C-alpha cells in the first residue's frame, strides 16, 4: 500500500488499487472524495476557499485552492481515467468552525454552501458527509474499494 498525500489546496486522482489517498488537518477547508466503483478510479480534493473571484491569478495557478475551480477539475481528472459521472460516489468532510457566535469566522460554512449549490445545479448527490462542528479531520480514501475513513480530533477513526 502506498500513501499519497494531498496537501492543502491540492487534488490528486488515482486508479492504482494499492494507493490510499490522504489529506490531513481539515479545519474550515473541505475534503471532497469522489469514486467510481466500476472503473475503480478515485480522487480527493482539499480546498480552502469558496470562490476564486478574489484572486483570478492564483486560481489559474492553483485551481485546487477554490471550490468553484477545484471541484470541476477533480471530476474532469477522474473522467480522464475512465470514471463515469453516473456511477460516482461522493463523500464530503470538513467545514469546521472555531467558536464564534458572531459568525465572522464562518469560511467553513461558506465552503460547504458553495459545494451544495454546485452539486444541486449539476444533479450530483452526496452519499456521505461529516461536516461542521469544531473538530479537525483527516480523510483517507482507499482506491481499491473507495472506502473512506475519517480521523476526527477527540473521536478517533470512523468510516464515512
For CA atoms 57, 63, 64, 70, give the dihedral sign. positive
Least separation, in Å, of the C-beta of 86 and other proteins? Answer: 33
Least separation, in Å, of the C-beta of 102 and other proteins? Answer: 6
User: One of 9, 13, 29, 93 is an active-site residue; which one?
Assistant: 29
Closer CB to other proteins, 51 or 144, in the complex: 51
For residue 75, the SS3 value is helix
Instruction: Please state, in angstroms and rounded to a whole number, the distance separating the CA atoms of residues 10 and 65.
Output: 7
Other CB atoms within 10 A of residue 129 CB: 18
Instruction: Please state, in angstroms and rounded to a whole number, the distance separating the CA atoms of residues 69 and 42.
Output: 18
Least separation, in Å, of the C-beta of 52 and other proteins? Answer: 9
Closer CB to other proteins, 90 or 135, in the complex: 135
Closer CB to other proteins, 104 or 123, in the complex: 104
| Site for other proteins, rule CB under 8 A | 5, 7-9, 23-29, 48-51, 54-55, 58, 65, 96-100, 102, 104-105, 107-108, 110, 133-136, 153-154
Least separation, in Å, of the C-beta of 73 and other proteins? Answer: 17
Instruction: Please state, in angstroms and rounded to a whole number, the distance separating the CA atoms of residues 76 and 84.
Output: 10
Closer CB to other proteins, 61 or 86, in the complex: 61
Active site residue 29: yes
Instruction: Please state, in angstroms and rounded to a whole number, the distance separating the CA atoms of residues 13 and 53.
Output: 25
Half-sphere exposure (Cβ direction) of 12: Cα atoms closer than 13 Å: 18
Q: Could you give the residue numbers annotated as active site?
A: 29
Amino acid at each position: 500500500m502506498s500513501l499519497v498525500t494531498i496537501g492543502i489546496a491540492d487534488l490528486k486522482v488515482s486508479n492504482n488499487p494499492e494507493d490510499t489517498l490522504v489529506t490531513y488537518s481539515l479545519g474550515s477547508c473541505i475534503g471532497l472524495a469522489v469514486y467510481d466503483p466500476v472503473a475503480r478510479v478515485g480522487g480527493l480534493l482539499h480546498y480552502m476557499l469558496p470562490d476564486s473571484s478574489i484572486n483570478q491569478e492564483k486560481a489559474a495557478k492553483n485551481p485546487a485552492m477554490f471550490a468553484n475551480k477545484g471541484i470541476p477539475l477533480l471530476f474532469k481528472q477522474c473522467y480522464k481515467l475512465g470514471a463515469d459521472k453516473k456511477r460516482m460516489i461522493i463523500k464530503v468532510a470538513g467545514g469546521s468552525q472555531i467558536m464564534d457566535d458572531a459568525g465572522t469566522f464562518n469560511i467553513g460554512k461558506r465552503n460547504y454552501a458553495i459545494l451544495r449549490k454546485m452539486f444541486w445545479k449539476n444533479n450530483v448527490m452526496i452519499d456521505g458527509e461529516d461536516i461542521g462542528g469544531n473538530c479537525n479531520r483527516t480523510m483517507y480514501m482507499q482506491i481499491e474499494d473507495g472506502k473512506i475513513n475519517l480521523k476526527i480530533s477527540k473521536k478517533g477513526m470512523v468510516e464515512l
